[in-house]
Every structure is written in C-alpha cells, then in structure tokens.
Structure 1
Amino acid sequence: MPKRVAFFPGKEPIENYFNIQSKREQIFEPHYNLTPGQHIPVVFKNGDTLSLDRIRWGDENSRNTTVPVNEAAALTDDKKWIPCAIPLSGFYIWKDDKEEGSPFFIRMLSGPLMVAAGLLHSKEEYFQIITTEANVLIKPMSETMPLLFDRELSHLWLNQSEEVDNILNRAKNLFLLTDLSVTRVSEEVNDPSNNSEELVQPIPK
C-alpha cells in the first residue's frame, strides 16, 4: 500500500500530459517525501475543463488514504466522489509496508511522470489513491500498489468518457515489469520530516 510518494516532475511534463496550464508556480514545487495528510497536486474535472490544485491526501485524520480498485467503481456512482489523477514522480515501499528498514523507490522508466488513479471527495476535499494487486516486481515487498494510468486512460477517467469498470480493468495490466524501476534508497526516507533530492538517489547494492 502506498504510504509515501514523491513529486518532482516539473511544470512542463504535467501541463503537456494533461493539456492544462497553471500560473500557480508553487503547485509544482518539488517534494521528495510526501505523507498522508499533506497536500499533493491533483488533476480533476471542474465543469467543462480540467483543473490542477493541491488537495489533502486522506481525510482530516489522515485515514482513508487508499481505496481498492474493486471498491472504486462503486464509489463513482456517488456524486460526491470525483475521478481524479495524481501526477507523481514515484512512490516508496517497504518490506511488509512497515516503513522501517530499507525503503525502495518505484518510478517509471519511460519518463519523469507517473500518474496514479484517484478519487476526490468533493465535499470534504480530500483524495484517495486507488490501489490494485501488486505486480511480481513489487509483490515481494507489498501486496498492493497504486493503480497507474497512461495518458489515454487518464483522460478517459477524468472525463468519464468510458465505462468506469472498463477503464479500471484496462489499467490493471497496463504496465509491464520493464516499465518500472525499483531501487533501494536511503533510510532517511523513514523520517517523514526529511525532504531532499538525495532521498530518491539509488544506493549501490
């Protein structure tokens, strides 16, 4: 289950990916160790256009941070839940999700942007990351991982222009082992107060 994420893709990749523009430069400030309860950039449909804003990850008590993919489809029937996409640089995992010992950083090999599927609670203004069964690369350490989208599925999800079940099922097997990188990183990640670029640098085996 994702408990920490990193965000440092920069402004241009996000704007190009979602075909949006924002003059709020602070939204794109990098952060290398984001935890539930913190505000993270999120893309969602606002009227007829896509918006980008910082939204709290999890409710006010930092709970409800994730939702399994098999429950996410049902939630979209409730109008207070809005499909959203979370642009990330990657996420951290630990053996058995214990947030101790050696952390590992997972990122995309194809570019600076990893997009996770999410649901935004429009009334309480927090979001959850949708999770799916971990692939064989990640499963030795964690049973689940974020459900990841490519550009096509991101836009279908945000615009609700295809059946929800179809979008989520297509995303489950979207990325192969060769699409992701898993590297061991510094145990400094274990302290949520640490936030520096060095946290995502691979440690030699």
Structure 2
Amino acid sequence: MCGRYASTKDPAALAAEFAATDATGRAGHAADYNVAPTKDVPTVVQRHPRDSAGEPDQWRTERSLRLMRWGLVPKWAKDPKIGNRMINAKAETVTGKPAFRSAVRSRRCLLPADGWYEWRRDADGKQPFFMTCPDGSSLALAGIWETWRDPAAADAAPLVTCSVLTTSAIGPLAEVHERMPLVLPNASWESWLDPDRADVDELLAPSREVVDALELRPVSPAVNNVRNNGAELLAPVADPVDPVALDHARDSG
C-alpha cells in the first residue's frame, strides 16, 4: 500500500519537471518529508481548457499542477470523512469499484513524490524503508481524483480529492511489502493524463524498469510519527536484518 511519502520540491520546480503550469497558488509551499492522508498534496492533471461560458475546448489540453486532498471522496458520498478510508485504490479492481470506476475513466492524475515509505515486518518489529530515485528525480505515482460538493451547502467551495493506485509489489520491493504504489515511467505520463482516453488497462501493471532503478533505503523509525517532518527522515540507517540471512530463512521456511 501507500500510506506515507515525501514531497519536498517547490511547486515551480515540480511544474517544470512535469511540463505543467503551476496552478497551486503556493509559491512558498513547504517541503513535506512525511506526507500523510488528508493533507493537501501536489498533483498533475491534464484537462481541456474552458472558455468564459464554461465550455471546454476539445482541440486543446493543458497540463497543470494543482493541490488536492489525499483521500478520495466519491461524488455520491454524504460525508467527506469517507475519504479517510480511500487513500488507495487497487489497480487490479479500480475499474470495477463504484467509488473509483468513473474517476479512472476520465479523472486521472499523477502525484509527484521524492519517494514513499514502506514497513518491512521483522522478528524485532517493523523496519521502515524509503523507496526513491538515486538521481533525485521525482516519482510519478498514478492517481485518480474526484470533485465533491456538500449537498447541504450548495454555496460551499467544492472539495477536490485524490487516491493513489497500488499494485502487487515486484522485484526487490516484494521483500519489503506485498503492495506498492503504481509508479508510472515518463513514457506513460501523457497516456495516463489524457482526458480523452477512457481505457487505461494496459497502464495498470507495475513497471519493472521503474522498480529496478529504485533505491530501497532503510530509514529511522522516527517516520512512524506523523509529527516528525524533517530531512533527517530520509537519512539512511543500517539495516538490522542481513538480506542474505533473510533470504536463507525465507527459503528454509
């Protein structure tokens, strides 16, 4: 699953990296080393621009960086708190689930991340890892988004929320956790964001190319507490488990 990640780059830098316009309105948006559900997070979307009458221009699309709340609230929800349980959507079932199927057809996004955290269960507890690109480039987590309006407050501003797609872990990631976010390679960004493309089944499988390029970095358990939020959370620590011994014990069992 994906329940915590880091997003530390300035919106202007993210907009440049993803060839988007910065529409966050947050020039001084603070780096977040411990992004948790219900926070407002930077996302990349691509939509048809609308004219003054609200009509979309079907001949053009515009890519922009926007803030959304992490935890998708379906249009039909009566209470936005349902989003607290919908931070992730399984890639294997997302096209059939009532809460997600409309969004995955027409409202997809990317969530830029420095990397994400996952916890490996060991005999002595849980060891957190940070999965990241060694060259410092952002990972593009596949996401879907939705707009919710409070039926009891018609004049209230709409709430825009998102979920991260997850899939079965592959390669070395499977040694840490059985699930992983769906991280899209650069070559898939355009197809995933295309607002006119409804069928994205071929993009829902994890990329071995992306996984093989990741660094799996053991980090401090300080990340377990969401109140901790500094660059020290990304610092590597010694892995308490010898990976060779771990493989041998797993094969023996």
Question: Cα offset for 1:142?
Answer: 1.2
| Range with bigger deviation, 177-186 or 18-27 | 18-27
Name which of 158, 161, 164 aligns with 1:126. 161
Q: Which residue of 2 aligns with 1:113?
A: 138
Structure 1: gaps spanning 5 or more residues? none
Structure 2 distance, partners of 1:38, 1:177, is 26
| Range with bigger deviation, 192-201 or 2-11 | 2-11
Q: Alignment RMSD, CA only?
A: 2.5
Structure 1 distance, partners of 2:103, 2:138, is 29
Query: How many residues were matched structurally?
Result: 201
Structure 2 distance, partners of 1:117, 1:52, is 14
Q: Which residue of 2 aligns with 1:185?
A: 219
Deviations 1:66-97 (A, max 9, x none): 1111223346752696111100000001125x
Question: Are the counterparts in 2 of residues 68 and 131 from structure 1 also a CA contact under 8 Å?
Answer: yes
Q: Which residue of 1 aligns with 2:16?
A: 16
Q: Which residue of 2 aligns with 1:70?
A: 92
| Range with bigger deviation, 21-30 or 181-190 | 21-30
Structure 2 distance, partners of 1:151, 1:28, is 25
- Of structures 1 and 2, the larger Rg is shown by 2
1:39-188 → structure 2 map (5 Å cutoff): 39-47=40-48, 48-58=61-71, 59=73, 60-61=80-81, 62-74=84-96, 78=102, 82-96=107-121, 101-123=126-148, 124-160=159-195, 163-169=199-205, 172-175=206-209, 177-188=211-222
Question: Cα offset for 1:25?
Answer: 3.9
Question: Cα offset for 1:28?
Answer: 4.6
Deviations 1:85-122 (A, max 9, x none): 100000001125xxx74311110234320110001012
- CA change 1:139–1:200 in 2 (3 A) is same
Q: Percent identity?
A: 24
Structure 1 distance, partners of 2:216, 2:15, is 26
Question: Are the counterparts in 2 of residues 9 and 112 from structure 1 also a CA contact under 8 Å?
Answer: no
Using the size of structure 1 for normalisation, the TM-score is: 0.85
Structure 2: gaps spanning 5 or more residues? 49-60, 74-79, 149-158, 240-253
